[in-house]
Amino acid sequence: MTNADESYHYQIIGRAIKEIDVAEGNLSLDELAARIGLSPAHFQRVFSKFVGVSPKRYQQFLTLSHAKTLLRERFRPLPPPIPSACPVRAVCMTFSCGGRR
Protein backbone atom coordinates (compact mmCIF):
# COMPACT_ATOMS: atom_id res chain seq x y z
CA MET A 1 0.00 0.00 0.00
CA THR A 2 1.40 3.38 -0.98
CA ASN A 3 1.38 6.52 1.13
CA ALA A 4 -1.29 8.02 -1.16
CA ASP A 5 -3.52 4.97 -0.57
CA GLU A 6 -2.97 5.18 3.15
CA SER A 7 -3.76 8.87 3.22
CA TYR A 8 -6.92 8.29 1.20
CA HIS A 9 -8.04 5.53 3.56
CA TYR A 10 -7.37 7.68 6.64
CA GLN A 11 -9.60 10.36 5.14
CA ILE A 12 -12.30 7.76 4.45
CA ILE A 13 -12.11 6.51 8.04
CA GLY A 14 -12.19 10.08 9.39
CA ARG A 15 -15.37 10.79 7.41
CA ALA A 16 -16.91 7.51 8.57
CA ILE A 17 -16.21 8.27 12.22
CA LYS A 18 -17.74 11.74 11.82
CA GLU A 19 -20.84 10.15 10.23
CA ILE A 20 -21.11 7.74 13.16
CA ASP A 21 -20.70 10.56 15.68
CA VAL A 22 -23.48 12.73 14.23
CA ALA A 23 -25.90 9.88 13.52
CA GLU A 24 -29.05 9.50 15.59
CA GLY A 25 -28.51 5.87 16.58
CA ASN A 26 -26.50 3.15 14.92
CA LEU A 27 -26.01 3.06 11.17
CA SER A 28 -26.10 -0.17 9.22
CA LEU A 29 -23.05 -1.17 7.20
CA ASP A 30 -24.95 -0.44 3.99
CA GLU A 31 -26.01 3.04 5.16
CA LEU A 32 -22.53 3.95 6.32
CA ALA A 33 -20.83 2.63 3.19
CA ALA A 34 -23.30 4.54 0.99
CA ARG A 35 -22.60 7.79 2.88
CA ILE A 36 -18.87 7.27 2.34
CA GLY A 37 -19.24 6.17 -1.27
CA LEU A 38 -17.80 2.66 -1.05
CA SER A 39 -19.26 -0.80 -1.42
CA PRO A 40 -20.19 -2.36 1.94
CA ALA A 41 -17.59 -5.13 1.58
CA HIS A 42 -14.74 -2.74 0.73
CA PHE A 43 -15.75 -0.28 3.43
CA GLN A 44 -15.86 -3.10 6.02
CA ARG A 45 -12.34 -4.22 5.05
CA VAL A 46 -10.87 -0.71 5.12
CA PHE A 47 -12.59 0.29 8.38
CA SER A 48 -11.61 -2.94 10.14
CA LYS A 49 -8.00 -2.66 8.98
CA PHE A 50 -7.51 0.93 10.14
CA VAL A 51 -9.69 1.01 13.26
CA GLY A 52 -9.10 -2.56 14.43
CA VAL A 53 -12.79 -3.48 14.78
CA SER A 54 -15.77 -3.62 12.46
CA PRO A 55 -18.00 -0.55 12.05
CA LYS A 56 -20.75 -2.32 13.98
CA ARG A 57 -18.44 -3.18 16.86
CA TYR A 58 -17.09 0.37 16.92
CA GLN A 59 -20.64 1.72 17.25
CA GLN A 60 -21.35 -0.79 20.03
CA PHE A 61 -18.28 0.41 21.95
CA LEU A 62 -19.46 4.02 21.59
CA THR A 63 -22.95 3.13 22.77
CA LEU A 64 -21.63 1.22 25.80
CA SER A 65 -19.20 4.00 26.64
CA HIS A 66 -21.95 6.60 26.39
CA ALA A 67 -24.26 4.55 28.61
CA LYS A 68 -21.54 4.16 31.24
CA THR A 69 -20.87 7.89 31.17
CA LEU A 70 -24.56 8.68 31.63
CA LEU A 71 -24.82 6.30 34.55
CA ARG A 72 -21.69 7.67 36.16
CA GLU A 73 -22.58 11.35 35.71
CA ARG A 74 -26.34 11.47 36.06
CA PHE A 75 -27.30 8.71 38.41
CA ARG A 76 -26.04 8.11 41.87
CA PRO A 77 -26.57 4.83 43.70
CA LEU A 78 -29.56 4.77 45.99
CA PRO A 79 -28.82 4.67 49.72
CA PRO A 80 -29.65 1.42 51.47
CA PRO A 81 -33.24 1.19 52.69
CA ILE A 82 -33.93 2.14 56.29
CA PRO A 83 -35.35 -0.83 58.17
CA SER A 84 -39.03 -0.17 58.78
CA ALA A 85 -39.08 -2.20 62.01
CA CYS A 86 -36.50 0.02 63.67
CA PRO A 87 -37.97 2.34 66.33
CA VAL A 88 -35.22 4.92 65.91
CA ARG A 89 -34.25 4.93 62.26
CA ALA A 90 -31.37 7.40 62.56
CA VAL A 91 -29.73 5.30 65.27
CA CYS A 92 -30.19 2.14 63.22
CA MET A 93 -28.63 3.76 60.19
CA THR A 94 -25.66 4.87 62.27
CA PHE A 95 -25.07 1.54 64.00
CA SER A 96 -26.43 -0.78 61.30
CA CYS A 97 -28.66 -2.67 63.69
CA GLY A 98 -30.81 -3.81 60.80
CA GLY A 99 -34.04 -3.20 62.70
CA ARG A 100 -33.15 -5.50 65.59
CA ARG A 101 -33.87 -4.32 69.12
Residue 90: is its pLDDT beyond 70?
A: no
d(CA 63, CA 61): 5
Architecture per CATH, domain 3-74, reads as Orthogonal Bundle (1.10)
Query: In terms of pLDDT, which residue wins out, 86 or 78?
Result: 78
Give the domain ranges of the chain: 3-74
What are the tens digits of pLDDT across the range 19-75?
A: 998 888 889 999 999 999 999 999 999 999 999 999 998 888 888 877 777 777 777
Tell me if the pTM is above 0.75. Answer: no
Q: What pLDDT sits at residue 86?
A: 57
Q: What is the DSSP string of 42-92?
A: HHHHHHHHHHSS-HHHHHHHHHHHHHHHHHHHH--PPPPPPPTT-SSHHHH
Query: In terms of pLDDT, which residue wins out, 69 or 15?
Result: 15
Nearest one of 78, 95, 77 to 87, comparing CA atoms? 95
- The CA distances from residue 48 to 10, 14, 18, 25, 93, in Å, are 12, 13, 16, 20, 53
Nearest one of 48, 31, 49 to 40, comparing CA atoms? 31
